[in-house]
């Protein structure tokens, strides 16, 4: 009985020593964009990291990359790290239809 009480007391003391950041769970995280490399000669760009058959965008400032078998995850290093907004495409449709297009 004494050993059981001692074990419980030690376990409770160990949980109290855990830093609050670890006790509250994981911080901010996001999955960076990735693309599959096509063919053996395809390489990753300067702002990408190779992860198996995939090229993964590097993490934003204040995040570290954790590689998996297929998925990579960016995890915040500090509590104040901001997840970057998704990039918007730079395509703008033409004002007039192109000559020869159907429906003109």
37-68 pLDDT tens trace: 887 788 899 999 988 888 999 999 999 999 88
From CA 72, how far away is CA 66, in angstroms rounded?
6
From CA 37, how far away is CA 81, in angstroms rounded?
30
Provide the CA 55 distance to its chain's centre, in angstroms. Answer: 13
Domain segments of the chain as ranges: 26-79
Query: What is the predicted pLDDT for the residue at 104?
Result: 52
Please give the share of the chain, as a percent, with pLDDT higher than 70. Answer: 73
Q: Which residue has the higher pLDDT, 52 or 101?
A: 52
From CA 57, how far away is CA 67, in angstroms rounded?
12
Supply the mean pLDDT for the chain: 76
Sign of CA dihedral 49, 50, 52, 55: positive
* Mean pLDDT along residues 2-25: 48
* Mean pLDDT along residues 5-20: 48
């Amino acid at each position: 009985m004494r050993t059981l009480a001692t074990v419980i007391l030690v376990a409770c003391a160990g949980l109290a020593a855990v830093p609050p950041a670890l006790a509250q769970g994981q911080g901010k995280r996001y999955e960076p964009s990735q693309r599959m490399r096509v063919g053996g000669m395809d390489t990753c760009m300067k702002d990408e990291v190779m992860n198996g058959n995939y090229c993964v965008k590097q993490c934003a400032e204040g995040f570290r990359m954790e590689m998996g078998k297929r998925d990579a995850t960016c995890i915040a290093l500090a509590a104040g790290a901001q997840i970057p907004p998704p990039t918007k495409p730079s395509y703008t449709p033409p004002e007039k239809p192109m000559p020869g297009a159907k429906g003109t």
